[in-house]
């Protein structure tokens, strides 16, 4: 529950709370925040948000599979084990390091809106915005196509071997993990009214409890069909017919032909260099370049000297985020429908033009989006895998709002995504709803190179938190000297409001949500600068997984999110 400024003033004035700090002297290694060590292995590594899925990926690597093979197997398992964050009804994006060529490859496996959709329909039916759940929100799911694109280019083992573990777990069952059980219980109410959800995704109308065995034989059958018949059974065959008929019956816009026409595409990642480390992200329709823009703004500041968790650190980061998210709201959209000035937005010159907007002593209520075109004249689950050959995959996949739209086609075992909610009904907006258009996408995989060598595949899942999380991980490692696990376990900052692409306006200046672990004197200082500061008792800070490669020895280091059920493991 968020607390008001008055509440914070009372608490801080009376000294009712003490800051929660961790003492490095209490541990045998000098990590300030990490509750566990990094995982270190020489032959391969998998990091995911579920321990059993991580073990699935390790088994694939040990059987001779590539990093891409392991990523597919892990993602398929997560669709069963963590349906609160992903599944075959959602989209997929990935960045792959190909050791043979020494090149990065980006994969955009996101789906489009239905061909029958129109803004006029929403206006005629009294909608001021697209709803959050139900058939009107469904877009074409791109994940399965993404699996096959990854497999065709970078896979080695047969697809049937990659899907076999998920099929086995779906048929025999697995015990539900703690954090997933909590989210599952919280997702039911919003999806209960929609056809198929309660029957397929609950046990007699309730979420499975921690440790309870969850089986999904329908999902096992669907995966078996894909393993035997390939991607086309999903997009052109029996599964596609079931999805299309189901949506037609309940008023959705996605048709059989929309599914049959779907195709993901390979794209070149884009990058910026921050103090010798090159961060790579995917260009729009994803929001990845927001992380690049924020780093460009922060590069001119001595972040290290500010000290982790100081008012200067949090204030400067937040103001940079505000500036960039105005551009995110205005420009990030489907590049097939918009001329997006990506090169200008992520340039150092544009950051130099925008940086003077940051007042070091005062929080801004709002910023106007910039005009990067002046430079032409002078925008979930995450997993990472790595194999013995040096190949690495950074992959993110989701249904949008956790468990998706609630629309659950009969007999298939998964929920369709509600990504269409993100579209804007303003015809002049870059992300305006149109037929056969990819929506603005929050999902962003990330990759870091150093001197053109692979360094780290990482991500921080969690909607609009993702670019903020990417930047904080890198600041923690580069400016504050934390290791891979410490960087993820350190308390996080999340700013919301002041610029949201499609979800209405919030209070001027938005609000900073701080995780426990920051000094309360810092909260006072932030409030004195005009920030609204709140506390969130339920995790809004995302979920982090990472694999780092020592460029000299080739040894892998793995880290997993302490706020989730996840695990990093190697061999």
The model's pLDDT over 140-163, given as tens digits with 9 standing for 90+, comes to 999 999 999 999 999 999 999 999
Domain assignment present for 386: no
Tokens found for residue 57:
């990926």
My answer on whether 357 and 462 are in the same domain is yes
Beta strands in 110-239 (DSSP E): 174-175, 213-214
**E strand intervals along 482-537:** 493-496, 511-514, 533-535
332 shares a domain with 245: no
Q: Are residues 144 and 64 in the same domain?
A: yes
- Give yes or no: residues 274 and 302 share one domain: yes
Is residue 492 a contact partner of residue 542, using CB atoms and an 8 Å limit? yes
Q: Rounded to two decimals, what is the model's pTM? A: 0.92
57 & 159 share domain: yes
Confidence of residue 463 (pLDDT cuts 50, 70, 90): confident
User: 279 and 251 share a domain?
Assistant: no
Instruction: Answer whether residue 497 shows pLDDT above 90.
Output: no
CA distance 495 to 497: 7
Distances from the Cα of 288 to the Cα of 295, 404, 437, 503, angstroms: 12, 22, 19, 19
What's the token pair of residue 515?
A: 């995780």
Which domain covers residue 359, as residue numbers?
Answer: 5-39+267-381+443-539+561-570
Exposed / middle / buried, residue 100 (Cβ in 10 Å: 0-12, 13-18, 19+): exposed
Nearest C-alpha neighbor of 314 from the set 446, 475, 111, 172: 475
Specify if 312 maps to a domain: yes
Confidence of residue 25 (pLDDT cuts 50, 70, 90): very low
- Same domain, yes or no: 182 and 309: no
What would the pLDDT profile of 306-355 be if each residue is shown by its tens digit? 999 999 999 999 999 999 999 999 999 999 999 999 999 999 999 999 99
The domain boundary residue, chosen from 391, 422, 453: 422
Q: What is the mean pLDDT of the chain?
A: 91
Active-site residues, by number, are: 380
Residue 212: phi and psi, rounded to 5, are: -80, 140
Residue 150 within any structural domain of the chain: yes
CATH number of the domain to which 464 belongs:
1.10.246.130
Q: How far is C-alpha 8 from the chain's CA centre?
A: 31
**In this structure, is residue 457 part of a structural domain?**
yes
Q: Point out the domain boundary residue: 363, 391, 422.
A: 422
Alpha-carbon gap, residue 350 to 341, rounded angstroms = 11
185 shares its domain with 217: yes
From 177, 150, 129, select the one nearest 67 (Cα to Cα).
150
Q: Closest Cα partner for 121 from 111, 112, 132, 131?
A: 131
- State the Cα–Cα distance between residues 254 and 405, nearest whole angstrom: 13
* pLDDT over threshold 70, residue 254: yes
Q: Kindly state whether residues 171 and 277 are assigned to the same domain.
A: no
**pLDDT of 370:** 72
């Amino acid at each position: 529950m968020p607390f008001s400024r008055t509440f914070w003033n009372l608490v801080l004035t009376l000294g009712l709370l003490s800051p929660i700090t961790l003492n490095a002297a209490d541990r045998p290694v000098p990590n300030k925040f990490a509750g566990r060590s990094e995982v270190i292995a020489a032959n391969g590594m998998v990091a995911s948000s579920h321990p059993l899925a991580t073990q699935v990926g390790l088994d694939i690597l040990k059987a001779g599979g590539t990093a891409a093979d392991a990523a597919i197997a892990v993602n398929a398992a997560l669709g069963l084990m963590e349906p609160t964050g992903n599944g075959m009804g959602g989209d997929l994006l990935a960045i792959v390091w190909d050791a043979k060529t020494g090149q990065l490859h980006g994969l955009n496996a996101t789906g489009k809106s239905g061909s029958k959709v129109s803004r006029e329909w929403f206006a005629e039916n009294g909608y001021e915005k697209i709803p959050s759940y139900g058939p009107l929100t469904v877009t074409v799911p791109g994940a399965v196509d993404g699996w096959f694109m990854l497999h065709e280019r970078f896979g080695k083992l047969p697809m049937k071997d990659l899907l076999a573990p998920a099929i086995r777990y779906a048929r025999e069952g697995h015990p539900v993990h703690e954090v997933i059980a909590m989210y599952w219980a919280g997702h039911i109410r919003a999806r209960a009214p929609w056809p198929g959800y309660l029957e397929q995704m609950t046990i007699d109308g309730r979420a499975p409890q921690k440790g309870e065995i969850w089986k999904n034989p329908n999902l096992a059958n669907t995966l078996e069909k894909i393993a035997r018949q390939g991607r086309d059974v999903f997009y052109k065959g029996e599964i596609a017919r079931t999805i299309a008929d189901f949506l037609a019956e309940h008023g959705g816009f996605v048709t059989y032909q929309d599914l049959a026409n779907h195709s993901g595409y390979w794209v070149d990642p884009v990058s910026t260099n921050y103090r010798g480390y090159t961060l790579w992200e995917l260009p729009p329709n994803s929001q990845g370049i927001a992380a690049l823009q924020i780093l460009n703004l922060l590069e001119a500041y001595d972040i290290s000297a500010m000290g982790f968790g100081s008012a200067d650190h949090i204030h400067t980061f937040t103001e940079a985020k505000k500036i960039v998210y105005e551009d995110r709201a205005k420009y990030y959209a489907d590049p097939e429908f918009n001329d997006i000035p990506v090169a200008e937005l992520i340039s150092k010159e544009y950051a130099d033009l925008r940086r003077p907007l940051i007042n070091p002593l005062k929080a801004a209520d709002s910023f106007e989006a910039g005009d990067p075109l002046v430079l032409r004249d002078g925008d979930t689950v995450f997993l990472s895998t790595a194999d013995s050959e040096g190949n690495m995959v950074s992959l993110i996949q989701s249904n949008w709002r956790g468990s998706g739209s609630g629309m659950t086609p009969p007999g298939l075992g998964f929920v369709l995504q509600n990504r269409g909610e993100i579209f804007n009904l303003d015809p002049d907006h870059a992300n305006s709803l149109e037929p056969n258009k990819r929506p603005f996408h929050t999902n962003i995989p990330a990759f870091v190179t150093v001197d053109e060598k692979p360094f780290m595949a990482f991500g921080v899942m969690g909607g609009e938190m993702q670019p903020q999380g990417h930047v904080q991980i890198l600041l923690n490692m580069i400016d504050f000297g934390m290791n891979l696990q410490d960087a993820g376990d350190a308390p996080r900052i999340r700013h919301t409001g002041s610029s949201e692409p499609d979800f209405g306006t919030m209070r001027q200046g938005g609000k900073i949500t701080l995780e426990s672990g920051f000094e309360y004197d810092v909260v006072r200082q932030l409030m004195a600068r005009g920030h609204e500061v709140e506390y969130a008792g339920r995790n809004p800070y995302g979920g982090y997984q990472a694999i780092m490669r020592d460029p000299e020895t080739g040894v892998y280091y793995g880290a997993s999110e302490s706020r989730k059920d996840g695990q990093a493991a190697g061999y």
